[in-house]
Chain A
Amino acid sequence: MSAADLVADGVAGVAGHAARVAVTGRPRRRVSTRLLRSELGLVFGRRRNQLALVVLAGVPILIGTALKLSGPSTEGPAFFARITHNGAFLAFASLVAVLPLFLPLAVSVVAGDAVSGEAQSGTLRYLLAVPVGRTRLLVVKYTAIVTFCLASTVLVAAVGAAVGLLLFPAGSTTLLSATPVSTAAVLGRLLLVALYVGAGMAAVGAIGLLVSVLTETPVAAMATTAGVAVLSEVLDAIPQLHAIQPYLVSHYWLQFGDLLRDPIATTGLMQGLAAAAAYAAIFGSLAWARFGGKDVSG
């Protein structure tokens, strides 16, 4: 996708914002959903974001096909041995596969672009000219980022479950605690896992939003956000740093395994959700403070 395309995308989006808001005059509640829908259209309509989603959806297809061709094995990463007994576990294995890099990268691209993309293409000025407060604009931006986070995890989970159940039997299976469960129950847990991982990604999205407000170069914002996420994972893997690890953004991502125990072990999950909320609050408010006082020239 060329730079010209990007600019065209941005202009079209902002023109949409401005036109819709202008028609209804003073902003009301309905206007805010319009602004959000327009922003969602922008995020999900952008070709590079669509490509990211396609790559994410390709992971379960790749793993499933490879496993089908190589036959059942007890070796491999987490959940691999279970897939051949119940295909739904392909979804969990896929989430584990995309969690370290693909998922944070996709979220970084969307979040890093949120404000800096508009600034670089010069559309931020027009966007701020419409009678919508900067606070609301930022809330709409972050809501779109969170939506993308949840959509990407649910997409991987859904494709994983669908491909898994297509290629492998839906036989009786067990959770990590060796408790037998039905496929329907596994799918229920899968949805919870997708939402939990999505919440973890929303924390990365908040970091991305702040970086995006700080710079007018979207590529820099994307790279910084992805770098922060990967750095957090590296620090989390160094045993000597265990004192700071509970405060790292990536520390609780793999805690989703607790949703596959019987009964669900809530302690770690609650810590993970609280950490994600804290990241969203701190970085969201920092972005708000910077954005509100920012001179927009671009």
Chain B
Amino acid sequence: MSILSGRARWAVPAVVTATVAAVIGTAVLSAEAAPPLPVRSAGELLVGLQQAAGTPLSGTVVETAALGLPALPNVGGHGTTDLTSLVSGSHTLRVWVDGPERARLALLGTLGESDVIHNGRDLWMWNSDKNVASHYALPAGRQDAGSGPPTAVLPSSLPSALPTALPSTPQQAADAVLKLIGPSTTVTTSGTATIAGRPAYELVLAPKDHRSLVGEVRLAVDAEKSVPLRVQVIPRGSTAPAFEVGFTQISFARPSAAQFRFTPPPGATVTQEQLGGTAGTPGATRHAAPDSSAATDPTARTVGSGWTAVVIGTLPTGTESGNGGDTLTALLRDLPTVPGHPGTRMLAGTLFTAVIDGDTIAVGAVPADLALAAMSRR
């Protein structure tokens, strides 16, 4: 009744299993392929990056952060739609960009999503789990389109309590990194890579100051469109990235205009927010610099410069609406104290150190002694 008999039959499931394993393996390995590309200098790539800002595109982005932080209560990994959750775990986002004035970012959670929609002077934040839509009116006549590419006005410019200024798209990450280029950085090219099926050049930015916790930043630039496809931040003394944000799929077709239209759904809670200020403080509107969360805090100062800069700021009081104030309080209580510095607590990650004394916080990509020194100079 059968062509195969006895032990020979078991070859069939073996072959099936091997085929499945081979398909999975190929999918993993093909991401590693380094395509041959004509040589381009780091300078050429940097110019291309600046000119490519606002290139119409849509795609899927995966962000992974392993910052060595303690497990935060309520700061979930995959599946949450809370934008503050980006500080730990792996997340999938969808991105649409059409010029400097229109961009949409969607953080995909299990059975929910958080969106940030920028269309001209309107900026909407939408959370399907909480059924809340927040509207921010952007100031008229913003002329920073050249210096601040469109996605730079996305979440990091919004008021928030936790260190949510983590970039959520490769463009945002690239902008943050390129700001640091100067005499303090060595910029080199390092071969090619294939990201989301597209050939790309890799730029390597390394701090000259060896006290920085950042070993190097690798930036993959699309060979044809000069758009940043992936950014990896590798801690000093490590080879695995502690932070990575990159496209897994990208298309350069212009997204449909409907993608940037947002109408609050019926039944949703709609709030009007002030950009750069705490909600509910009319008359005290501050206009934030596009992508520095420190600038939203008027008391923030910077000690040092470049890769070893330490930002000193004031912690939110923990009463801010829905921005994780409770999480923050709970987190601070559990942090270890610093020997020899009574009352000072420290949070040491793979890429940054935060020192907290009362409601003052000093954060930088520096070892503990530098952060403590900056704190004592406040």
Contacts and interface: CB of A to CB of B under 8 A. Distances in A.
B112 A78 contact: yes
B252 to A, nearest CB: 16
A133 B112 contact: no
A134 B1 contact: yes
B128 A178 contact: yes
A213 to B, nearest CB: 12
B314 interface: no
Interface string A218-230: 0000000000000
A85 B265 CA distance: 10
Contacts of A74: 131
Contacts of B17: 282
A179 B258 CA distance: 9
Contacts of A84: 267
A96 B111 contact: yes
Nearest to B255: A263
A172 interface: yes
B249 interface: yes
Interface of B: 1-2, 4-6, 9-10, 12-13, 16-17, 20, 60, 77-78, 89-90, 92, 94, 106, 108-113, 115, 126, 128-129, 131, 133, 248-249, 258, 262-268
B108 A254 contact: no
Given A74-B131, A180-B263, A265 B9 contact: no
B145 to A, nearest CB: 26
* A-B complex: 4 closest residue pairs judged by Cβ atoms: A174-B265, A285-B13, A78-B111, A257-B111
B77 A239 contact: yes
Contact of A171 (B20, B115, B128, B266): B266
Given A282-B13, A288-B12, A293-B6, A267 B248 contact: yes
Contacts of B60: 265, 267
Contacts of B265: 85, 173-174, 178, 180
Interface in A159-190: 171-174, 176-180
A289 B9 contact: yes
Contact of B112 (A173, A180, A257): A257
A289 B77 contact: no
Given A176-B112, A239-B77, A278 B20 contact: yes
Contact of A254 (B111, B129, B266): B111
Interface of A: 74, 78-79, 81-82, 84-85, 96, 133-135, 171-174, 176-180, 239, 242, 254-255, 257-258, 260-261, 265, 267-268, 278, 281-282, 285-286, 288-289, 292-293
B128 A172 contact: no
Nearest to B124: A178
Nearest to B132: A74
Contacts of A177: 106, 113, 115, 128
B133 A178 contact: yes
B131 A81 contact: yes
Nearest to A132: B1
Contact of B262 (A135, A173, A178, A292): A178
A96 B112 CA distance: 13
Contact of A292 (B2, B112, B133, B266): B2
Contacts of B6: 293
Nearest to B261: A179
Most buried by B among A74, A133, A178: A178
Given A176-B112, A239-B89, A282-B16, A85 B10 contact: no
A287 B145 CA distance: 61
Nearest to A255: B110
8 contacts: A135-B2, A176-B111, A178-B265, A178-B268, A239-B77, A254-B111, A257-B111, A282-B16
Given A85-B266, A173-B265, A267-B248, 16 more contacts: A78-B129, A79-B111, A81-B131, A174-B265, A176-B111, A177-B115, A178-B126, A178-B262, A180-B265, A258-B108, A261-B106, A261-B113, A285-B12, A288-B13, A292-B2, A293-B9
